[in-house]
Chains A and B, each alone.
Chain A
């Protein structure tokens, strides 16, 4: 199974909105509403930010939102804050009953 495709890096200024894309195929992202997004800070375990494409776990800021169109999912962070600077990973369930992650995107808050 091939990793999902994410941009290596994105950046934005405080208060702005940014979007991170996650491209897959009809066998993963496009085929199921099982896309998740994780935030990872250096030296820490990942944190679930979005599940099932659009849902936020309890405690996650509503500045984080998810969507999907065809084989591409997206994570949008609005009202960017310095604390949002981290690595972000998408993941998807696949037709082989496996899970595949994206390569990760480094978010820099300017």
Chain B
């Protein structure tokens, strides 16, 4: 069974930093493209970033230059390092990946999310 478990969320002041983690199991982590998707309270979904199995990375314009996605295949863990956080970054952050049949850029599997609140 595929499981994605996010952690690391919390309350942070504007301008601060935070690192999110996503522990993956139940599939060959090293072979999958892994993404972060966020959802501000009461708002819609916003794709944040992807890291390919090759290590290539892509970012939404709204976070480019502030967020860094990375992966540790030896630990089956995905990360999102967030710097220069703003109030508008407040959201539930989901880790997501595709299934064998669907592939990128589809998200068959999602974690439960971790809440990041940026406020003074």
User: Which residues of A are in contact with B by a Cβ distance under 8 Å?
Assistant: 1, 3, 34, 36, 38, 40, 45-48, 51-52, 55, 57-58, 87, 89, 91, 93, 96-104
Sort chain B's interface into a size bin.
Answer: 20 to 34
Asked if residues B58 and A58 are in contact (CB atoms below 8 Å), the reply is no
Known contacts A1-B61, A57-B99, A99 near B111 by CB under 8 Å: no
Asked if residues B45 and A104 are in contact (CB atoms below 8 Å), the reply is yes
Interface contacts beyond A98-B59, A101-B37: sample of 20 additional A-B pairs, CB < 8 Å, sorted by A: A34-B105, A34-B106, A36-B107, A38-B45, A38-B107, A45-B113, A46-B45, A48-B106, A51-B108, A55-B102, A57-B101, A91-B45, A91-B107, A96-B58, A98-B58, A99-B105, A101-B45, A101-B46, A102-B44, A104-B44
User: What are the residues of chain B within 8 A of A3 when measuring CB–CB?
Assistant: 44
